[in-house]
Amino acid sequence: MIDDDTLMSFIRSQQFEIKYLANEINNDRFKPRFKYNDIKNHINNFIKIEKNYYNRLIMIPGLRGVGKSTLLYQIYSYLNDEMEIDEDDILYINVDDLKSSIDTDIKSVFESFIENVHNTIPLTLKKKIFLLVDEAQYDKNWANFAKLLFDKNSRIFMIFTGSSALNLNLNTDATRRITTIRLYPCNFREYLYLKYDINFNRYDLRELILNTNNEIVEKAVKYEKEIYKELYNLPNDNTLEFKKYLHTQSFPFALTNNDIEVHKFTYEVIKRIITDDLVEFKSFNKLNDKIISRILTYLATKKAGKTSNNKIAQYIGISANTVDNILEILEKTELLFKVYAYGSAGTIMKKPREHFFITPSIKATLNYRIGRYNLNNKKCYSLLVENMIASTLNMMVSDASLSLGLFYDPNKKGVDFLLKCVDEIIPIEVGVGKKTKSQLTIAKNKYNAKYGILISNRTDRIRFENDILYIPLVTFALMF
């Protein structure tokens, strides 16, 4: 049992720490990630609405290095500086620090804070306060505590950040109350904003993918012209800037480091996921870290779908079942995501899954580690482009407001991706160095699609001809 003096000493040290870190972030003038505005809107509604604002329990999962902690510091600054919330009405807890210093839980710290700072208990708290928790996955009971607190008092706004292992502690009751704001690595649009303060958010081109017609294409062409006018302000040619993004610029820490340092830090992210995050999964307790690293490196050097679990198993020297288990857990960490073959339930189960990295920079770093890093290597560039497009489509499909499915075409000489929108199929082909209209035509006829999409570096502008939508690579990268 930890005494109150020890708990309050920890609380005061954490309050000092977040104030200091928030000031450092402000002094360095780091721009906030786009998701910051979503959180800020929930905070504003919580403050404005007298009681019972529902979206007051927010979970922010994401890979290491994507800026979750920085986001919390920026939220603290917003509360304290802009909204003038008193410091004693904001409790910040870094659970990693908590476990390593006094080894207790979030609940004990919070109850001590309410009792000693606000002279009450959570049930009878009469003023609105904010609980900001970082690295919440280190407290196995965080979700149950958050759910009980949510039900007990509507005057408490909670944010919990952590790795994807946060999801392991969720139950149905907690899930119903949680608003999930997932923080992905930066896309090209966000990179340009964070690096060069060029913001394209006023140009929404997503409907072009899902509902192509002449009117929408006309509007998209107009937006594209405006976008490329602003790209003239970049210090590099936009194609070179795009290549730089693919190789090294998916994580916020890349903005202030050179390429060699970025690859080093990105590899550290990968290693921390393997050594720290995977221990949350019991099936990994007896597996060798080197085996997992070799599987990731193997996947990084191959085109998605060109290898099977049996081939990986043979190459590594383990069973195909073990490979399958490893890939499944790596998907749960969100380092990888899978794409199923399109077809019947039997086809989906029998055909191998294609695996992509959550961001092309991870694939680039793993290739860099074995000497394959080269901005001008067409094969490497092609693999990174395919991964970027898959990642973008995956994030689009993950948007809860859309009813979409992402698949690959299992047919011989099939297109790269099939996007299922309600009852419609949209074939998508990626062309680097050459156009592949013929495959799109075949897929369009096979799946009775209204149109197909060709994303290519040989296309210089958006155009719609003969039921095929042509999109330049850079334009596609700026659509979401």
Determine the Cα–Cα distance for residues 385 and 431; give it in Å rounded to an integer: 9
Bridge partners (DSSP) of residue 469 are 453, 464
Confidence of residue 375 (pLDDT cuts 50, 70, 90): low
For residues 206 and 140, state if they share a domain: no
199 half-sphere exposure, CB direction, 13 A CA radius = 7
As for how many domains the chain has, the answer is 2
For residues 286 and 431, state if they share a domain: yes
Residues 189-245 have pLDDT tens digits of: 999 999 999 998 887 788 888 888 888 899 999 999 999 999 988 888 888 899 999
Residues 141-168 have pLDDT tens digits of: 999 999 999 999 999 999 999 988 777 7
Contact 109, 29 (CB under 8 A): no
Determine the Cα–Cα distance for residues 4 and 264; give it in Å rounded to an integer: 42
For residues 280 and 392, state if they share a domain: yes
Contact 206, 321 (CB under 8 A): no
For residues 222 and 122, state if they share a domain: no
For residues 170 and 228, state if they share a domain: no
Under DSSP, is residue 336 helix (H, G, I), strand (E, B) or coil?
strand
Determine the Cα–Cα distance for residues 251 and 185; give it in Å rounded to an integer: 6
For residues 206 and 243, state if they share a domain: yes
Bridge partners (DSSP) of residue 341 are 408
Element (H, E) at 427: strand 424-431
The whole-model pTM stands at 0.92
pLDDT reported for residue 371: 81
For residues 106 and 156, state if they share a domain: yes
For residues 282 and 162, state if they share a domain: no
For residues 233 and 169, state if they share a domain: no
Q: CB burial class (10 A; 0-12, 13-18, 19+) of residue 144?
A: middle
> Which residue, 180, 212, 227, sits at the end of a domain?
180
Under DSSP, is residue 210 helix (H, G, I), strand (E, B) or coil?
helix
Among candidate residues 337, 280, 276, 332, the one with its CA nearest the CA of residue 142: 280
> Which residue, 112, 146, 180, sits at the end of a domain?
180
**Residue 32 DSSP one-character state:** P
> Which residue, 149, 180, 211, sits at the end of a domain?
180
Could you tell me the CATH number of the domain that includes residue 27? 3.40.50.300
Residues 418-464 have pLDDT tens digits of: 999 888 999 999 988 765 678 899 999 999 999 999 999 888 899 99
Under DSSP, is residue 188 helix (H, G, I), strand (E, B) or coil?
helix
Domain membership of residue 319 as a residue range: 188-477
Please report, for residues 427, 437, 448, the alpha-carbon distance to residue 442 in angstroms, rounded to integers and kept in the order given. 10, 9, 10
Contact 249, 375 (CB under 8 A): no
For residues 141 and 220, state if they share a domain: no
